[in-house]
């Protein structure tokens, strides 16, 4: 009788797993909006973070690691830009490179990332009020990127910083860009 109960248990667990069409485990990390600041790659102290990682929604010092999705800088003409990794010549052979899609909707109206159209290989000009969806490098064990939305709030020219609000979905395989625990 014991083998039959094990078979029945396996069947019940398999049926429960198959009832979820996404085949993803439940999300465990809430999507939370926050404000962040990055310093330019050039003309700022080395110890200031110029890179940003969607995975963990965190600032990164580019002198210590290449584990970031984009960096902030000024162009020679004074244009503020985000630089995806491929624009910096970092790890360009990945199947999915980090990138940006410019979005005209309000920050709150951005609920799902687009499936394509990401700028991955060139500097992305930025200005106050502009909004973007950001795709990360592959960081999760499912082999898919993570996503974030961000809005440029402003710049401090003397400190060479950009301030932005960001909401990142740190749940592997989930695409929702709405606050709270994602269900998709």
Least confident of 40-44, 98-102, 139-143, 176-180: 139-143
Q: Inform me whether the pLDDT recorded for 134 exceeds 60.
A: yes
Higher pLDDT, 10 or 94: 94
Rounded CA separation 37/10 (Å): 49
pLDDT of residue 22: 60
For residue 142, what pLDDT is reported?
Answer: 84
- Output the pLDDT for position 168: 97
Written as six digits, the tokens of 18 are 């198959």
H helices, E strands: number in the chain: 1, 10
Residue closest to 33 by CA, chosen among 134, 182, 178: 178
pLDDT at 15 over 50: no
Q: Average pLDDT, whole number, for the chain?
A: 89
User: What does the pLDDT look like over 39-64, one tens digit per residue?
Assistant: 999 999 999 999 999 999 999 999 99
Q: How far apart are CA 120 and CA 86, in angstroms?
A: 6
Distance CA 123, CA 119 (A): 8
Band of residue 100 on the pLDDT scale cut at 50, 70, 90: very high
Strand, helix or coil for residue 34: strand
Domain ranges (residues) in the chain: 28-169
Q: Which residues contact 117 (CB under 8 A, 6 or more apart)?
A: 101
* Local confidence band at 184 (pLDDT 50, 70, 90 cut-offs): confident
Residue 122 to residues 12, 65, 94, 105, 110, Cα–Cα distance (Å): 50, 21, 16, 23, 24
């Amino acid at each position: 009788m014991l083998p039959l109960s094990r078979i029945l248990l396996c069947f019940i667990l398999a049926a429960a797993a198959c009832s979820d069409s996404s085949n993803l485990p439940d999300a465990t990390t809430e999507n939370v909006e926050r404000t962040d600041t990055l310093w330019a790659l050039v003309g700022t102290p080395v110890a200031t973070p110029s890179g940003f990682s969607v995975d963990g929604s965190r600032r990164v010092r580019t002198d210590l690691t290449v584990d970031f999705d984009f960096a902030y800088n000024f162009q020679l003409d004074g244009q503020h830009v985000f630089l995806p990794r491929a624009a910096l010549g970092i790890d360009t052979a990945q199947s999915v490179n980090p990138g940006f899609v410019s979005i005209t909707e309000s920050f709150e109206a951005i609920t799902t990332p687009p499936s394509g159209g990401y700028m991955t290989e060139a500097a992305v000009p930025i200005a106050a009020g502009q909004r973007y969806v950001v795709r990360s490098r592959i960081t999760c064990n499912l082999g898919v990127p993570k996503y974030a939305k961000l809005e440029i709030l402003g710049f401090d020219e003397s400190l060479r910083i950009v301030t932005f609000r960001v909401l990142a979905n740190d749940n592997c395989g989930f695409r929702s860009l709405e606050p709270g625990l994602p269900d998709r």
